[in-house]
């Protein structure tokens, strides 16, 4: 059978949780997305596992586009997926294989199975199958009705004749998994219209592509015995290794769903998550580095990551921790790199210049690139928005706001030069004038600058004030202090 190729190369060795994964010849793995237009974080998780495995063992990471039954083979939808893989840095080897180009192989495999007696034609409609199951009272599913009827190709589907016995494999992350074949119904290989079903196409394509290790989500465990049965019936003798990764779940421990969860990798990118952080965090779901150092380059993780160490239980996709990891990565960026990456999240050159003026001070205060704009908007906007809560708290209910604004205006007007240090000293003097003093007469700087900050930036939090005002300039600083004073009086 020409379409069956590839070589097996899984060897168990060294007791660990399960045999540590060793590879004796270059492995071939694949990620098989459907062209849905977006990459799901769960998909990214298993794509990453495949990619890391290939890179770690010097193998090949292939892509196969499962586009057989999808509405249309729309290139734009595929691009959405490929773009995200590129963004994450998961580069694949060779050109992606389109499953739709392989239907000939699928048919050939079906023919072979029919010829060997491992498949047979059926003429039961789904309704009939269902009706009989209901009547039987037992489990739903096909009952083998047409097994021995010797039907010729007709209006019905081609079914696989599941043999008696058990089907088992040693899963790289789960250990021994076995199924009693009696619990597996005679599943459909070819639809009534002659098109191949996922299971057949999947198994045949993997064999044709020489896939040695199938690494995918746990939701595929149940399909594995069928996959194995098909390949065995087709005479493939090379063993395929399997690794079923833990599912990514939401707060209610349910598989992440497009409907109710944020699952699109693109949406995380658009929020300002760094691809390095994304991939770093994803690697931490189901696995942990032996030395406990969680935030680190993916290259290091590739060297440390072993499928035998993957925890098989479902993992909660924790946005809070992702944010933390992202913050670490942002702070670790070189300044120029940080500015460049933040640029797309800023509205224009003025904003970019504003960010550049306070670069490092902003960099260590954001966890998302999308947060930078709000931190420097007071620098490039003529009239930055005033946070009502901040105004109310500091200006209205806070103490001595008018006095502080007046004193600051006087000190800053008289200030020689316009530097952060000078501004700092000026505001300290203003604090004393305005009555913000500690028992020992020193200025109470924890509170005093608040009115100045709200007046000039519109917010109660932000980058350090002295540097902010230095960047703002004397004229604009004084103008805003005056405007705030007017608003306060009014």
Task: Please name the residue ranges forming H helices in 192-346.
Answer: 198-209, 224-233, 265-271, 275-283, 298-304, 319-331, 335-342
Q: How far is the CB of 255 from RNA (least distance, A)?
A: 4
Confirm or reject binding of residue 222 to RNA (CB under 7 A): yes
Task: Please report which helix (H) or strand (E) contains residue 430, including its range.
Answer: helix 420-433
Burial class of residue 273 in the structure, from the number of CB atoms within 10 Å of its CB (0-12 exposed, 13-18 middle, 19+ buried) = buried
Confirm or reject binding of residue 386 to RNA (CB under 7 A): no
Rounded Cα distance between 341 and 359, Å, is: 12
Confirm or reject binding of residue 143 to RNA (CB under 7 A): no
Among 223, 239, 384, 422, binds RNA (CB under 7 A): 223
CA distance between the termini of the chain: 88
Among 80, 157, 210, 458, binds RNA (CB under 7 A): 157
**Binders of RNA among 31-50, rule CB under 7 A?**
34
Among 13, 131, 461, 479, binds RNA (CB under 7 A): 461
Of residues 80 and 246, the one with the C-beta less far from RNA: 246
Of residues 5 and 288, the one with the C-beta less far from RNA: 288
DSSP code of residue 97: E
Task: Answer whether 226's CB lies under 8 Å from 187's CB.
Answer: yes
Pairing, β 166-171 against β 175-180: antiparallel
Nearest CA-CA partner of 362 in 454, 275, 464: 464
Which residues is 315 bridged to in the sheet? 248
Confirm or reject binding of residue 180 to RNA (CB under 7 A): yes
Q: How far is the CB of 11 from RNA (least distance, A)?
A: 18
Per the residue annotation, which of 258, 321, 399, 438 is the catalytic one?
258
**Binders of RNA among 317-336, rule CB under 7 A?**
318, 320-321, 323-324, 327-328, 331
Confirm or reject binding of residue 164 to RNA (CB under 7 A): no
**Binders of RNA among 50-89, rule CB under 7 A?**
66-70
Cβ count within 10 A of residue 80: 18
Of residues 406 and 467, the one with the C-beta less far from RNA: 467
Among 107, 132, 255, 429, binds RNA (CB under 7 A): 255
Residues 6+ apart with CB under 8 A from 58: 26
**Binders of RNA among 86-105, rule CB under 7 A?**
99
Nearest CA-CA partner of 451 in 386, 377, 384: 386
Among 30, 60, 161, 174, binds RNA (CB under 7 A): 174
Residues 6+ apart with CB under 8 A from 420: 464, 466, 467, 469, 470
Confirm or reject binding of residue 370 to RNA (CB under 7 A): no
Rounded Cα distance between 55 and 45, Å, is: 15
* Whether residue 258 lies in the annotated active site: yes
Question: Would you give the binding string for RNA spanning residues 276-305, x where CB under 7 A is met?
Answer: --------xxxxxxx-x-x-----------
Q: How far is the CB of 275 from RNA (least distance, A)?
A: 19
As annotated, the active-site residues are 258
């Amino acid at each position: 059978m020409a379409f069956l190729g590839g070589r097996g190369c899984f060897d168990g060795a060294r007791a660990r949780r399960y045999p540590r994964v060793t590879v004796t010849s270059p492995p071939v793995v694949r990620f098989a997305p459907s062209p849905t237009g977006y990459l799901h974080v769960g998909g990214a998780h298993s794509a990453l596992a495949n990619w890391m495995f290939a890179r770690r063992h010097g193998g090949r990471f292939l892509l196969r586009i499962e586009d057989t039954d999808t509405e249309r083979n729309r290139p734009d939808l595929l691009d959405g997926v490929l773009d995200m893989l590129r963004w994450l840095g998961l580069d694949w080897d060779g050109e992606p294989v389109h499953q739709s180009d392989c239907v000939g192989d699928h048919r050939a495999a079906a023919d072979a199975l029919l010829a060997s007696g491992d498949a047979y034609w059926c003429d039961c409609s789904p309704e009939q199958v269902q009706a009989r199951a209901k009547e039987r009272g037992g489990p739903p599913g096909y009952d083998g009705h047409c097994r021995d009827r010797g039907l010729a190709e007709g209006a019905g589907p081609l079914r696989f004749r599941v043999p008696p016995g058990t089907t088992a494999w040693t899963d790289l992350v789960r250990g021994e998994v076995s199924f009693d074949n009696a619990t597996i119904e005679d599943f459909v290989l070819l639809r009534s219209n002659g098109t191949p079903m996922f299971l057949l196409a999947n198994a045949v394509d993997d064999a044709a592509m020489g896939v040695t290790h199938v690494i995918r989500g746990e939701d595929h465990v149940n399909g594995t015995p069928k996959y194995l049965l098909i390949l065995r019936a087709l005479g493939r003798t090379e063993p395929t290794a399997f690794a079923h990764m833990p599912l990514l779940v939401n707060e209610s421990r349910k598989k992440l769903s497009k409907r109710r969860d944020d699952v699109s990798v693109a949406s995380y990118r658009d929020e300002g998550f760094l691809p390095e952080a994304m991939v770093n965090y994803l690697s931490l779901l189901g696995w942990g580095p032996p030395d406990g150092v969680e935030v680190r380059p993916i290259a290091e993780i590739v060297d440390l990551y072993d499928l035998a160490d993957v925890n098989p239980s479902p993992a909660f996709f924790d946005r809070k921790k992702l944010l933390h990891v992202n913050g670490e990565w942002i702070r670790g960026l070189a300044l120029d790199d940080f500015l460049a990456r933040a640029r797309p999240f800023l509205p224009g050159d003025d904003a970019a210049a504003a960010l550049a003026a306070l670069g490092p001070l902003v960099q260590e205060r954001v966890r998302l690139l999308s947060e930078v704009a709000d931190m420097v908007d007071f620098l490039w906007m003529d009239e930055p928005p005033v946070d009502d809560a901040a105004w109310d708290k500091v200006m209205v209910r806070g103490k001595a706001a008018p006095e502080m604004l007046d004193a600051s205006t006087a000190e800053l007007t008289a200030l020689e030069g316009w530097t952060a240090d000078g501004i700092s000293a000026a505001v300290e003097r203003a604090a004393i004038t305005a009555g913000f003093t500690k028992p020992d007469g020193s200025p109470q700087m924890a509170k005093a600058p608040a009115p100045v900050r709200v007046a000039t930036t519109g917010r109660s939090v932000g980058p350090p004030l002295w540097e902010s005002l230095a960047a703002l300039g004397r004229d604009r600083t004084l103008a805003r202090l005056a405007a705030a004073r007017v608003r306060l009086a009014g």
